[in-house]
Structure 1
Amino acid sequence: MAEDPVIRAEGLSVRFGSKTIFKDVSFEVRRGEIFVILGGSGCGKSTLLKALIGLVPLAAGHAWLLGEELAKEDDNERRALLRRIGVMWQSGALFGSMTLAENVELPLEEHTDLSRPAREALARSKLGLVGLGDAAAKLPAEISGGMAKRAGIARAMALDPPLLFLDEPGAGLDPITSAGLDKLIKDIARDTGTTFVVVTHELQSILAIGDRCIMLDKEAQGMIAEGDPRQLKAESTQPTVRAFFRREAA
């Protein structure tokens, strides 16, 4: 029997007032894979991520994370479920007055009864996992954009969630730094079995890390492709999909 999906989305729709962002989006995310939500600017990629974790209300449809429907949980059950996921926002969203170690400790302080020495040790361990073991005492203003993204991933991993969401991890990074971040994501997925959902429009990253993907389209107001991104690039006959993967003018 096939293993239950980590995420199951059925007929998801989001509207802001009279404006439909996307409609009737359905897909599954399998355990241990790197799943990419891709598409052009304004197609609703980040909105879909926020809808999956309950930050944006659904106009229609249902979504299950780790076998539980977030929308139907009571407050305690909802909080328990949210502790089992981690999120890295586009900018890293680090607190500027706190060191990297303190940023990573924050979820541990909020959601565990660990002693301060234990929290500090875990924070150093997570920062070491993303290559920032020597930067634990630095403030966000003292590090590069790529390091901030890594620190954001470390904080998202603080509670050892089986599911991580990354919102535009390569945005604003130079090609070498972006490639290093891609390698980090692949290494973490391989070494820990963590499932990743990555929102991006960066073509090189999509092809480098994505096991499977869905593509959203602004004009279609929904999903226009699903599958292995390399196969979509080679075989898709849908004009918008072909243009995206081959970097052609639409």
Structure 2
Amino acid sequence: MSDAPGPDTPAVIEARDLTARFGSNTLFRHVSFDVRRGEVFVILGGSGCGKSSLLKLMIGLVPPAEGRVGILGTDVWSTEGAARLALLKRLGVMWQQGALFGSQTLLENVEMPLAEHTRLPAAARAEVARAKLGLVGLSEAADRLPSEISGGMLKRAGIARALALDPPILFLDEPSAGLDPITSAGLDALIRDLSRSLGTTFVVVTHELASILAIGDRCIMLDKEAKGMIAEGDPRELRDHSTHPTVRSFFRREAA
């Protein structure tokens, strides 16, 4: 996209020769890529290819069998103690279903990271949380419970909570999953707007083709059969010019 960060933009994430293995099952091997500051970077592929596992590996939840991940100049898996916690506090994560606490209002959900990781007084935490809800269009829903809002609003609230500590990098796991096309398009627009207005780097895991083309500056594609990465680049370029049969089938919605 025309306003996307260019090739000279510094990388904030560096993944090198990553392999994910669970027992005797290898999901993918030798996956390497960079994520540039301020871009919307998409991890895509069919079901079972290891997209969500790659996300968990990047944010420090699952160790790689091989390889390394550097985020903001720090090696995720060789850093321990206070330094590791300091790094993880600079990452925001929105899980597939929002993962909000059902007994708390949206405002209380967004306040939680602030209560845990800052010394802000209660009034200041509430003010920051309301501001984050405002960023995602949920100012009027601050006092509602998760059970009282729609699926699209749940996703937006999850993004607001991920933004609570002003992290420079946000990870979104299947943000459009389960949403109708209109709601999904609205969420795509929100992600684009936040990326450009805040300068935040987004790493988005999805297999939703419309969302990939709407929000992605660059992407990588994982493949279950190849057990690795089979494409990297601008998703629109891959759609129009890739000669790899699996990549072409994915972007053109053709049966394999």
Query: TM-score normalized by structure 1?
Result: 0.99
Aligned length: 250
Q: Deviations over 1:191-221 (max 9, x none)?
A: 0000000000000000000000000000000
Q: Distance in 1 between matches of 2:31 and 2:86?
A: 26
Q: Distance in 2 between matches of 1:205 and 1:4?
A: 25
Q: What residue identity is the alignment partner of 2:106? A: L
Residue of structure 2 in register with 1:235 after alignment: 241
Query: Where do 5+ consecutive residues of structure 2 fail to align?
Result: 1-6
Residue of structure 1 in register with 2:175 after alignment: 169
Q: Secondary structure at the match of 1:6?
A: strand
1:120 matched to 2:126? The reply is yes
Q: Distance in 1 between matches of 2:141 and 2:48?
A: 35
Counting aligned pairs with the same residue, the percent is 70
Residue of structure 2 in register with 1:13 after alignment: 19
Q: Distance in 1 between matches of 2:138 and 2:9?
A: 35
Q: Distance in 2 between matches of 1:207 and 1:199?
A: 13
Q: Deviations over 1:166-186 (max 9, x none)?
A: 000000000000000000000
Q: How far did 1:4 drift?
A: 3.2
Q: Distance in 2 between matches of 1:7 and 1:205?
A: 22
Q: Quick one: which of 75, 97, 122 aligns to 1:91?
A: 97
Q: How far did 1:74 drift?
A: 1.7
1:245 matched to 2:251? The reply is yes
RMSD over aligned CA atoms reads 0.9
Q: Quick one: which of 221, 224, 227 aligns to 1:218?
A: 224
Query: Where do 5+ consecutive residues of structure 1 fail to align?
Result: none
1:152 matched to 2:164? The reply is no
Q: Distance in 2 between matches of 1:232 and 1:74?
A: 39
Q: How far did 1:159 drift?
A: 0.2
Q: How far did 1:91 drift?
A: 0.2
